[in-house]
């Protein structure tokens, strides 16, 4: 389809989609109502009886030949045409195949289709993120912001040279970040490989610090699914409170959304009582539209948290990326009532950067998300800079890095 024809068709389909949506909103039509013929479908959207005979509707006509279509199928088809100019039989048919596991966190008949995540306005998103980064925190609020940053931190060691002693040292710092000041709060969690979970769980027992573990073929997520699920179950059995897995980017980037979602649902089941964080690896999956789509997919599939990155690639967390994910979480909560947390990880090294993320979360999602249960910051060198800033508030002097312990 030429660019001009594509644009013309998008404009033409818009009023029909709006008419259909209005009838749904008014209760005149239900999403699950069958449409037994093309004539009935045209009537539902206020179009002429010949409207569905044109080429752009070929995929919808093919779907009708496969069996009964519903109002929801028609709405999906029109939304695809309006947003992309193309309606594919693969999208329409694959949508029907969503497993019950993938649907379970959504209200019956009102599932937001992650195949149709809204397009993101890049200029507006980046402008807003830049604007939020100019917000200043006054002296009287600075201590509270610094302490909140610490409470929301995950201290991480994910190296091949990790030992019990190294994990114990990390846990000690997680519980008591400043050995000279007991008023400094503990961090939210320590994150380790499954093999180190038992050591970490033993060390933090009786404290508020949780144990998180990467699992499921981290950081690629490309081993056999049963192997990944066994890895998750093993980490939980060792004492992990939280499991961090990666989105199957291979499936996602090739449009196998149902597969990617079902794998997350299976991982959620393998987690049992443990919370599931799904890492999108935003530096690898494309632009903001893809980040938005991946966020919605992970939330619908059962993620308790969505997370920016593994920290294993150079492209890490940025304010616009976190803002994009936060807006997806906000909209998902509005639609479904499901509350999902967010973790920003990778490249956050200074207290000032941490404040910026707190502002983005607070302004976009509200105070409810400004807790360790709903927001996390992946920290490596960040904690020491925050401790130095706290020291300056208390003493009026800025202590160098030699005055804090090395992670």
Query: What is the per-residue pLDDT across 321-350, written as a single tens digit (0 to 9) for each?
Result: 999 999 999 999 998 899 999 999 988 989
**Domain identity same for 149 and 42:** no
Per-residue pLDDT of 275-287, as tens digits, reads: 999 999 999 998 9
Is 345 contained in some domain? yes
Is 102 contained in some domain? no
Cα-trace Rg, the chain: 24
- Percent of the chain exceeding pLDDT 70 equals 86
**Domain identity same for 92 and 168:** no
**Domain identity same for 183 and 246:** yes
Lowest mean pLDDT among 14-23, 129-138, 293-302, 369-378: 129-138
Residue pointed to by tokens 């008591």: 176
* The overall pTM is greater than 0.85: no
Q: How far apart are CA 10 and CA 86, in angstroms?
A: 9
- To the nearest whole number, what is the mean pLDDT of the chain? 86
Is 10 contained in some domain? yes
**Domain identity same for 174 and 88:** no
Residue 365 and residue 328 in contact, taking contact as beta carbons nearer than 8 Å: no
Q: Count the neighbouring beta carbons within 10 Å of the beta carbon of residue 18.
A: 14
Nearest residue to 60 via CA among 37, 32, 84, 29: 37
Q: How far apart are CA 378 and CA 152, in angstroms?
A: 9
**Domain identity same for 157 and 295:** yes
Tokens found for residue 218: 């981290």
Q: Return the pLDDT at 6.
A: 46
Is 168 contained in some domain? yes
Per-residue pLDDT of 9-32, as tens digits, reads: 556 788 998 999 999 888 898 888
What DSSP line would sit under 140-168, residue for residue?
HHHHHHHHHHHHTEEEE---TT--HHHHH
| Catalytic position from the list 113, 231, 343, 385 | 343
Alpha helices in 53-113 (DSSP H): 58-66, 71-84, 89-96, 100-103
Q: How far apart are CA 31 and CA 16, in angstroms?
A: 16
Is 108 contained in some domain? no
Q: How far apart are CA 240 and CA 232, in angstroms?
A: 9
Which residues, 6+ apart, have CB-to-CB distance to 129 below 8 Å? 318, 319, 320, 322, 323, 360
Q: Return the pLDDT at 1.
A: 43
Nearest residue to 372 via CA among 226, 214, 190: 190
Identify the domain boundary among 26, 61, 96: 96
Identify whether 307 is a catalytic site residue. yes
Q: How far apart are CA 341 and CA 371, in angstroms?
A: 10
Is 107 contained in some domain? no
Residue 377 and residue 370 in contact, taking contact as beta carbons nearer than 8 Å: no
| Catalytic position from the list 113, 154, 178, 244 | 244
Residue 328 and residue 320 in contact, taking contact as beta carbons nearer than 8 Å: no
- Give residue 190's domain range: 122-403
Tokens found for residue 76: 């999906």
Q: Which helix (H) or strand (E) holds 192?
A: strand 189-192
**Domain identity same for 90 and 146:** no
How, if at all, do strands 34-35 and 69-70 pair?
antiparallel
**Domain identity same for 89 and 128:** no
What DSSP line would sit under 251-306, residue for residue?
HHHTT-HHHHHHHHHHHHHHHTTSEEEEE--TTTS-SHHHHHHHHHHHHHHT-SEE
pLDDT band of residue 238 (cuts 50, 70, 90) is very high
Domains of the chain: total = 2
Q: Return the pLDDT at 109.
A: 33
Give mean pLDDT, residues 196-220. 96
**Domain identity same for 82 and 159:** no
Tokens found for residue 406: 């090395």
**Domain identity same for 38 and 148:** no
Identify whether 3 is a catalytic site residue. no
**Domain identity same for 223 and 314:** yes
Residue pointed to by tokens 């202590």: 399
Burial classification of residue 335, based on how many CB atoms lie within 10 Å of its CB (0-12 exposed, 13-18 middle, 19 or more buried) = middle
If DSSP codes are grouped into helix, strand and coil, which group holds residue 334?
helix
Residue 407 and residue 187 in contact, taking contact as beta carbons nearer than 8 Å: no
**Domain identity same for 87 and 141:** no
φ and ψ at residue 351, rounded to 5 degrees: -60, -40
pLDDT band of residue 404 (cuts 50, 70, 90) is low
Identify the domain boundary among 96, 131, 153: 96
Residue 265 and residue 99 in contact, taking contact as beta carbons nearer than 8 Å: yes
If DSSP codes are grouped into helix, strand and coil, which group holds residue 213?
strand
Indicate which CATH number applies to the domain containing 358.
Answer: 3.20.20.70
Is 220 contained in some domain? yes
**Torsion angle of C-alpha atoms 276, 282, 285, 289, degrees rounded to 10:** 100
Identify whether 268 is a catalytic site residue. no
| Catalytic position from the list 151, 231, 307, 385 | 307
Nearest residue to 316 via CA among 343, 277, 287, 283: 283
Helix axis angle, 351-365 relative to 139-151, nearest 10°? Answer: 90
Is 110 contained in some domain? no
Identify the domain boundary among 42, 62, 96: 96
**Domain identity same for 258 and 154:** yes
Q: How far apart are CA 49 and CA 40, in angstroms?
A: 8
Q: Return the pLDDT at 99.
A: 53
């Amino acid at each position: 389809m030429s660019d001009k024809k594509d644009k013309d068709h998008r404009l033409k389909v818009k009023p029909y989609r709006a008419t259909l949506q209005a009838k749904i909103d008014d209760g005149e039509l239900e999403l699950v109502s069958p449409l037994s013929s093309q004539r009935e479908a045209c009537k539902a959207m206020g179009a002429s009886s010949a409207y569905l005979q044109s080429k752009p509707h070929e995929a919808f006509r093919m779907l009708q030949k496969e069996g009964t279509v519903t109002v929801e199928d028609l709405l999906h088809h029109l939304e695809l045409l309006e947003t992309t100019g193309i309606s594919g039989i693969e999208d329409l048919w694959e949508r029907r195949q969503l497993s019950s596991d993938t649907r379970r966190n959504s209200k019956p008949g009102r599932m937001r289709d992650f195949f149709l995540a809204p397009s993101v306005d890049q200029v507006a998103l980046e402008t807003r993120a830049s604007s939020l980064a100019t917000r200043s925190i006054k002296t009287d609020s600075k201590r509270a912001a610094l302490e909140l940053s610490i409470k929301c931190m995950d201290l991480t060691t994910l190296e091949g040279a990790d030992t019990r002693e190294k994990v114990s040292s990390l846990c000690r710092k997680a519980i008591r970040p400043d050995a000279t000041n007991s008023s400094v709060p503990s961090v939210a969690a320590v994150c380790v490989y499954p093999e180190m979970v038992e050591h970490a769980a033993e060390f933090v027992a009786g404290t508020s610090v949780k144990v998180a573990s990467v699992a499921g073929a981290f950081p690629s997520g490309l081993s056999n699914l049963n192997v990944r699920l066994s890895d998750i179950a093993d980490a939980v059995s060792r004492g992990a409170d939280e499991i961090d897995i990666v989105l199957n980017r291979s499936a996602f980037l090739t449009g196998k959304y149902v597969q990617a979602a079902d794998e997350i649902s299976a991982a959620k089941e393998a987690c049992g009582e443990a919370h599931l964080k799904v890492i999108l690896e935003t530096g690898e999956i494309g632009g903001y539209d893809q980040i938005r789509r991946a966020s919605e997919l992970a939330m619908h599939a059962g993620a308790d948290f969505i997370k920016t990155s593994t920290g294993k690639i150079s492209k890490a967390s940025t304010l616009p990326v976190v803002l994009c994910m936060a807006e997806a979480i906000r909209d998902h909560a509005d639609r479904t009532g499901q509350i999902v947390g967010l973790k920003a990880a990778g490249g956050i090294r200074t207290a000032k950067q941490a404040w910026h993320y707190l502002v983005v979360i607070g302004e976009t999602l509200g105070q409810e998300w400004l807790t360790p249960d709903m927001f996390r910051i992946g920290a490596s060198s960040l904690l020491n800079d925050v401790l130095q800033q706290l020291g300056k508030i208390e003493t009026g002097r800025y202590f160098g890095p030699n005055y804090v312990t090395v992670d």
